[in-house]
Amino acid sequence: MLKTGNQYSRRYIHELLGGGIQNYLPHKKGQVVCGCFRKDLNPFAPDIILPGNGLEIMKWAKVFREQTYPIPIFIKQQSNAWEYVGKYKVKSWTKDLAVIAKYAEYTGRNTITSVLSLKKE
């Protein structure tokens, strides 16, 4: 069982929930099973997620947006230590270029394709 504030390895997360060990949105049987976010790419996580480009990245961001139930979210604290911060689902999202540009300027990332706002359940 996951406990808020505890840290887990990606291997443990994989064994418990399934999905890939390196994906930011591990998935299994067509559904996103959890979110694993790095603060250098998603400095506002877990509240705001900034998917990058790439077909797989965008595909799983879309699947996550369309899911109606919350998933466990983990934030990387250090190598092989991912803090569980609770269950979240997508509250809203946008592909508005002006909104993306603000986050791109703040983060220095020019690969952001959408902005997902999450809600803790």
Mean per-residue pLDDT for 45-61? 96
Q: Which residue has the tokens 């299994």?
A: 28
| pLDDT tens sequence across 70-119 | 999 999 999 999 999 999 999 999 999 999 999 999 999 999 999 999 99
Cis amide prior to 70 (ω within 30 degrees): no
Mean per-residue pLDDT for 47-66? 96
Label residues 99-119 b or e (16+ Cβ within 10 Å = b): ebeebbeebebeebebbbebe
**In the chain, where are the structural domains located?**
7-120
Q: What predicted TM-score, i.e. pTM, was given to this entire model?
A: 0.95
